[in-house]
């Protein structure tokens, strides 16, 4: 009987290697085909969206406020449905220019494409000059999202255990933001892209913050009402900026009314909720109209524990046909303060005067400025701080450049951070804005404090800071530079992560409390001409 010879080990290994090579080729080919199919679906979505947006413009003489108002869009909005796996990550429109413009971005994993009113679908690339990181605010749902690094194709880590809200002035509506996401709006200057708001911890001290009616058709029983007019106001509910329960009050002055007043709502925080020397800020959203000569005020009153009125402040506010956020601040509460009352006061009502005011989303906070709305129904509610953490892999502590695109927070915080890096007060690099100035850079290391500052800016700005150890740091704003007086010392033992829009050395401290669109990081000190190139590329949006 003849023996059958099997494969040798060498022959088996050769077969295995050949199979492996063929499998690798097949996988690579499949990935390439799959990526091409994904790109084609994104481009098709954007091209179809461009057609729908053109039709919408023809029918409405304006582009929509939102394109993700699904399944049934309200007036002024549109519902675009991307292909499976694709996500509309940002949309913004500017209907104040001639012609009107828009930008729309869609993504699938690491593939990001954008389209505008005048361009075809193009891939969204990182900033020029090869940055090591390029963090861009991008939507992941209806008015919420995160920062996305166009270099490493990864998302930032967002930590906030409580939900929050964000107000979009283009739609006059407040949107809920889930825990562990940031509030995202279209860029507020009408240019392309989105902006993310990074806020500190705050509490709404009002027990009931929006209109829940009782049998009398007024606010819930936790609210009061007062008047000094002859007739009787009419109460009803209106579709609010936050809910469908906005309180509406209407009144026409009758014979005998002379400099009368209405206080549509009165509410107080709980006893012992405020103390002497603290700062209280009240805010709410108003909509409607009043006659010439009639004024509307937000009034804050301090009370002691016996309910005695011990001081107050008032701010006259405007009322118009759109929901508008208004606020008033009591800078330093007087001695013996135990709690604070908030009033909406309508003054100067005479015979024939008309009042038609709706109010919603009322808030009373501690601090010198208002933050996003925190709804309450029966007790106070607290929103935790937004903590944005990003990796600093391969960052250079001896030389570098940061470029930030943001709005000026107008001094709402002492040192609101755009970005910082370090381990403590004596070992840190920071780019922030200053309460009495504009963009401010401060680099502290090895006992050397180098800083540079610009004067106050308006609206959006692009600030850059570049440094090389042993040389003065340079702060740029829109291409103009300012040199510091001290040389930079290299940052020692920098951490592997840092934060956007907050002080990374003390959680909850130094939050920017305003919109930041983009943070770009370079590993060398860019030249003035390169700074100009980078600024021109990022300042008007991606």
75-97 mean pLDDT:
84
Residue-wise pLDDT for 223-255, tens only, equals 778 899 999 998 888 888 887 778 889 999 999
Inter-residue contact 140 to 89 (CB < 8 Å): yes
Tokens of 175: 């949107």
Q: What distance in Å separates the CA atoms of residue 80 and residue 76, rounded to the nearest whole number? A: 13
pLDDT, position 431: 93
Reply yes or no on whether the pLDDT at 336 is more than 50. yes
pLDDT, position 410: 61
Residue-wise pLDDT for 485-507, tens only, equals 899 999 988 999 999 998 777 65
pLDDT, position 29: 52
Residue-wise pLDDT for 436-454, tens only, equals 778 899 999 988 899 998 8
Reply yes or no on whether the pLDDT at 97 is more than 90. no
pLDDT, position 389: 95
pLDDT, position 405: 96
Local structure of residue 109 (DSSP, 8 states): T
Strand 164-168 versus strand 154-155 pairing type: unpaired
Residue-wise pLDDT for 293-314, tens only, equals 999 999 999 999 999 999 999 9
Residue-wise pLDDT for 373-411, tens only, equals 999 888 899 999 999 999 999 999 999 999 999 998 765
Report all structural domains of the chain as residue ranges with CATH numbers, in order of start.
14-201 (no CATH), 224-376 (2.60.120.260), 387-538 (2.60.120.200)
Reply yes or no on whether the pLDDT at 66 is more than 90. no
Closest residue by Cα to residue 47 from 122, 123, 125, 120: 120
User: Does the model's pTM come out above 0.85?
Assistant: no
Name the helix (H) or strand (E) containing 59.
Answer: helix 9-60
Strand 246-252 versus strand 417-424 pairing type: unpaired
């Amino acid at each position: 009987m003849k023996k059958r010879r099997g494969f040798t080990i060498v022959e088996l290994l050769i077969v295995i290697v050949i199979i492996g090579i063929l499998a690798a080729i097949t996988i690579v080919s499949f990935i390439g085909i799959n990526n091409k199919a994904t790109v084609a679906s994104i481009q098709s979505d954007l091209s179809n969206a461009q057609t729908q947006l053109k039709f919408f413009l023809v029918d409405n003489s304006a582009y929509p406020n939102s394109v993700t108002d699904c399944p049934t869009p309200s007036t002024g909005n549109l519902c675009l449905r991307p292909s499976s796996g694709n996500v509309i990550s940002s949309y913004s429109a500017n209907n104040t220019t001639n012609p009107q413009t828009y930008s729309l971005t869609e993504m699938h994993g690491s593939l990001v494409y954008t389209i505008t009113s005048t361009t075809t679908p193009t891939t969204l690339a990182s900033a020029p000059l090869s940055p090591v990181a390029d963090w861009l605010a991008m939507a992941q749902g209806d008015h919420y999202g995160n920062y996305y690094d166009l270099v490493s194709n990864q998302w930032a880590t967002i930590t906030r255990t409580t939900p929050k809200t964000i107000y979009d002035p283009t739609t006059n509506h407040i949107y809920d933001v889930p825990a562990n996401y940031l509030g995202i709006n279209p860029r507020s200057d009408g240019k392309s892209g989105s902006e993310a708001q990074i806020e500190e911890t705050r509490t709404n001290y009002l027990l009931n913050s929006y209109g829940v009616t009782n049998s009398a058709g007024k606010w819930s029983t936790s609210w009061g009402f007062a008047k000094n007019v002859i007739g009787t106001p009419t109460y009803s509910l209106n579709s609010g900026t936050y809910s469908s329960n906005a309180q509406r009050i209407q009144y026409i002055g009758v014979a005998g009314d002379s400099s009368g007043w209405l206080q549509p709502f009165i509410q107080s925080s709980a006893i012992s909720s405020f103390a002497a020397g603290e700062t209280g800020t009240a805010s709410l959203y108003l909509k409607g109209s009043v006659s010439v000569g009639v004024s509307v005020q937000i009034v804050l009153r301090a009370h002691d524990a016996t309910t005695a009125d011990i001081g107050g402040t008032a701010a006259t506010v405007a009322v118009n046909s759109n929901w508008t956020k208004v606020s008033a601040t009591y800078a330093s509460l007087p001695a013996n303060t135990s709690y604070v009352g908030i009033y909406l006061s309508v003054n100067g009502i005479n015979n024939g005067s008309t009042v038609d005011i709706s109010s919603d989303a009322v808030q009373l906070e501690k601090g010198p400025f208002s933050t996003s709305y925190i709804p309450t129904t029966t007790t106070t509610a607290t929103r935790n701080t937004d903590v944005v953490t990003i990796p600093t892999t391969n960052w250079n502590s001896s030389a570098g450049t940061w470029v930030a695109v943001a709005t000026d927070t107008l001094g709402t915080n002492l040192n609101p951070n755009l970005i910082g890096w370090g381990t403590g007060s004596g070992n840190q690099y920071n780019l922030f804005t200053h309460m009495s100035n504009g963009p401010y850079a401060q680099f502290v290391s090895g006992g050397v404090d180098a800083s540079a500052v610009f004067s106050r800016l308006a609206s959006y700005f692009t600030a850059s800071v570049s440094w090389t150890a042993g040389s003065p740091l340079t702060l740029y704003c829109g291409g103009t530079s300012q040199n510091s007086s001290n040389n930079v010392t290299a940052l020692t033992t920098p951490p592997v992560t840092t934060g956007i829009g907050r002080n990374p050395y003390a959680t909850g401290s130094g939050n920017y409390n305003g919109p930041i669109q983009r943070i770009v990081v370079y590993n060398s000190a860019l030249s003035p001409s390169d700074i100009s190139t980078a600024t021109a590329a990022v300042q008007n949006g991606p």
